[in-house]
Amino acid sequence: MIKPFLLTAVAPAFLNTSRRSIFPAAMSTSSSVNAPGGDQKCDTPAAVIFLHGLGDTPAGWSSLQRNLPSLRPNLGKNVHYVFPPAPTIGISVNGGMQMPGWFDLYDWPIGVGVKDDKEGKIKAAIQIEETVEKLEKEMDIPPSRIVVGGFSQGGAVALLTAYHRRTEGKVPFAGCVCLSGWLTLKEDLNVTEEVAKSTPLFWAHGEYDDKVLFEQQAHGVGVLKEHGVKVEERSYPMGHESDYDEIDAMAEFLEKVLFPSSS
């Protein structure tokens, strides 16, 4: 039996601070950038939406809701964590095998110039936008108080949601996080001036990544900077995975964009 290609990683479980569940089980909650805008108090509700990778589930990254507040206490004060589940779909590079995935993959490894599953990626972005709408409707958390992020495939969808699809008239997100992901649908990228100004990006990547190649970071960061996006980029001596230093830097970024007066 051929072992399928997966794009999974488990968030480092290095801390054990309790964190209450925010959403029902179906929602699965289990260079420096200066944050734009005015001061925000820690009692102003905010949210972090984080998307898992191919073949993974929300449980793979749900420890962030414990780890991040332990690193930056502000991230536990009225910050709500949401870990949406990807649909189960057939993946072409795995012979059509059904598994959790945000969109199809046609090339392996994933370097600059891989073929895009445009329809699948747009569907994934729409799913995240529905999550954003639910946060605003049910918890009174506007997009300007939400950071959308993800690992690998999840990072690719986060970038698409934060920059491609926040067109004129849509409120920009507070920030975006891409861990070991890649910029997709580049021919459709048109970042509005308001989004470029209001939605900074944290992009971290493993220098030895043999799945989503390290070249993807420099390429994606370069394209987004050309569109005016403020980017904090980090690289680490690791493969397609995550580690403590990366999560610590991510926590610092989240605190800066959600609570600039405290950072």
CB 19 within 8 A of CB 81: yes
Active site residue 240: yes
Alpha-carbon distance 107 to 65, whole Å?
A: 33
- 155 vs 176: CA distance, rounded Å: 9
User: Would you list the DSSP string of 110-129?
Assistant: B-TTPPP-HHHHHHHHHHHH
Q: Which of 56, 116, 117, 209 is catalytic?
A: 209
- What DSSP string runs through 142-209? -GGGEEEEEETHHHHHHHIIIIIS--TTSPPPSEEEEES-----GGG----HHHHHH--EEEEEETT-
- List Cα–Cα distances, 170 to 120, 163, 180, 228, in angstroms: 22, 11, 27, 18
For the CA atoms of 64, 175, 107, 207, the dihedral, rounded to the nearest 10 degrees, stands at: -70
- Pick the catalytic residue: 62, 152, 198, 242? 152
What is the rounded CA–CA span in Å between residue 11 and residue 80?
18
Q: Which SS3 state, helix, strand or coil, does residue 223 take?
A: helix
Which residue is catalytic, options 28, 104, 240, 242? 240
Query: Known catalytic residue: 18?
Result: no
CA atoms within 13 A on the CB side of 196: 13
Q: List the one residue out of 87, 158, 89, 86 whose CA is nearest residue 129.
A: 158
Active centre residues (catalytic)? 152, 209, 240
